[in-house]
Amino acid sequence: MASTSPGLAPINRIFPAPVTDASDEQLLEWYGELPRSGAWVRFNFVASLDGAATLDGRSGTLGNPVDQHVFQLLRRLADVLVVGAGTIRAEGYGGDLLGAEARDWRMRNGLADYPAFAIVSGSLDLDPRSALFAESPVRPLIFTSATADPARRRELAGVADIIDAGHERVEPGNIVRELAGRGLSQIHSEGGPILLGSFQSAGLVDELCLTLSPLLAGGTGPRIAAYVAEHRPQPLRLAHILESDSMLLLRYLADRPAPAFAPA
């Protein structure tokens, strides 16, 4: 059974077991298989063959319709979407991020109509009048630091729930703890590089879904993880490889236990 998106190029699995022209239900089943219970942090990124995470300042320009289709399928599986403020500004988030078909799928599978939506911003440099807040179907959460500007905090408190997740900087462990405590264990992040870098430094990346765009971008674009001086290399295990129209969609998993503070 082919994908339900008309005109979409076939998506083929080439590892572990080859499957030609995978259906959406197959893709959702594969991505929905997790090796353990408890809080699970998934990051989804696209990069060029020479390692650029953006093209003309945006990650979306590196993708194609297949990448965007899988991007949307991953949102269906999430309890909460977590996005850094820089990515919010660069990519133009706002409105219904799912669509009717995805909402119907979530309801049929016992999930809330919409995943929760969380923004990470140490500075609270966000416009409370933007479409992100005015058109959001759920009240966003904003994770910030205790030292964030009080005036910005007051402005944003009218459109979002403000949560301190650290004193001088936002701590990834506090984000995961807070979300897990709210029953939001399937944590799906769409970036950006600073957010991935901070979670990687904290050892809290359980899964990386990385699309390799068949493009040499050149230039000086950032890597998918950036701006964190502290780091510890983390081995990941290849779970699957999908291919479509010369684009590779890789899924890597970390073999580690759930954080001790996160309920199963």
Instruction: For the chain, give the percent of residues with pLDDT over 70.
Output: 93
Q: Which residue has the tokens 């959460």?
A: 141
120 or 217, greater pLDDT: 120
| 165 phi-psi bin (left φ>0, alpha ψ -120 to 50, beta other) | alpha
Strand residues in the chain grouped as ranges (E): 12-15, 40-48, 80-84, 116-120, 141-144, 161-164, 186-189, 207-213, 237-244, 247-253
Where are the chain's structural domains? 38-253
Position 226 scores a pLDDT of 84
- Angle between helix axes 65-76 and 100-108 (nearest 10 degrees) is 40
pLDDT at 1 over 70: no
For residues 204 and 97, the answer to whether their CB atoms sit within 8 Å is no
Homologous superfamily (CATH) of 38-253 is: Dihydrofolate Reductase, subunit A (3.40.430.10)
Write the DSSP assignment of 192-246 as a string of letters.
Answer: -HHHHHHHHHTT---EEEEEEES----TTPPPSS-S-S-------EEEEEEEETT
The answer, yes or no, to whether the previous bond of 16 is cis (omega within 30 of 0) is yes
Angle between helices 172-181 and 193-201 (to 10 degrees): 90
User: Which amino acid appears at position 90 of this protein?
Assistant: A
Check residue 3 and give its pLDDT. Answer: 54
Inter-CA distances, 250 with 58, 75, 177, 239, 263, Å:
20, 17, 28, 8, 28
List pLDDT tens digits, range 24-40: 999 999 999 999 999 99
Predicted local distance difference test score (pLDDT) of residue 264: 43
Detail the DSSP E strand segments found in 72-140: 80-84, 116-120
**What are the backbone angles phi and psi of residue 100, rounded to the nearest 5°?**
-65, -40
> Mean pLDDT, the chain, as a whole number?
92
* pTM score: 0.93
Q: Are 210 and 47 in contact (CB under 8 A)?
A: yes
Eight-state DSSP code of residue 55: B
Tokens 């009080």 label which residue?
Answer: 150
Q: What is the pLDDT of residues 212-231, one digit of tens each?
A: 999 998 888 788 998 676 77
User: How confident is the model at residue 80, as a pLDDT?
Assistant: 98
147-166 residue pLDDT tens: 999 999 999 999 999 999 99
- pLDDT for 4 equals 55
Of residues 63 and 230, the one with the higher pLDDT is: 63
Going by pLDDT thresholds of 50, 70 and 90, the confidence category of residue 95 is confident
Which pair of tokens denotes residue 52? 């650029």
Nearest to 14 by CA among 248, 253, 252: 248
